[in-house]
Amino acid sequence: MKRLLLGVGNRLSGDDGIGPTVASRLTTEPWIAVDCGTAIENASGIVSRERPDLLVVVDAARMGLEPGSIRRLPITSNDRMLASTHGLPLSFVLERLADSVGKVVLIGVEPESLALGEGLSEAGSKAVDELLAILAEGAIDRLELLA
């Protein structure tokens, strides 16, 4: 199974850098990981070329939970992800990629701080470590789905 992870966010806005941090630290096979920065649409060529069975998008997401909480998000809840504020709307990009992917999973991490400045909060750093372990195990379904 070919797996592709897109990490979305701005490393210069605190916990908004969670997605890119996960992407840069995910080296476990069979994962291909791409740090999209603030423009997920820039990875559309890679997605079309790789045609993954599983596409995972990781970003900070306002979910009303404790900072560092990790949840799978229904595709219809993609507006909670901060990717929708970075460039093209996430829903628009995902619609354009639909023919190139098997399954799409959105993973949101509740940010503690989005203040200007590089580096993650303690809660954000712990969430990155937890998510990397889950991805390495191939246990995405273990993540709770946001109600």
Q: Which domains does the chain have, with CATH numbers?
A: 3-142 (3.40.50.1450)
For residue 50, count other CB atoms closer than 10 A to its CB: 17
Across the strands, what pairs with 70?
Answer: 109
The overall pTM is greater than 0.85: yes
Helix (H, G, I), strand (E, B) or coil at 58: strand
Distance CA 92, CA 7 (A): 17
Output the tens digit of pLDDT for each of the chain's 147 residues: 899 999 999 999 999 999 999 999 999 999 999 999 988 888 999 999 999 999 999 999 999 999 999 999 988 766 666 665 566 777 778 888 888 999 999 999 999 999 998 899 999 999 999 999 999 999 999 999 998
Distance CA 110, CA 139 (A): 19
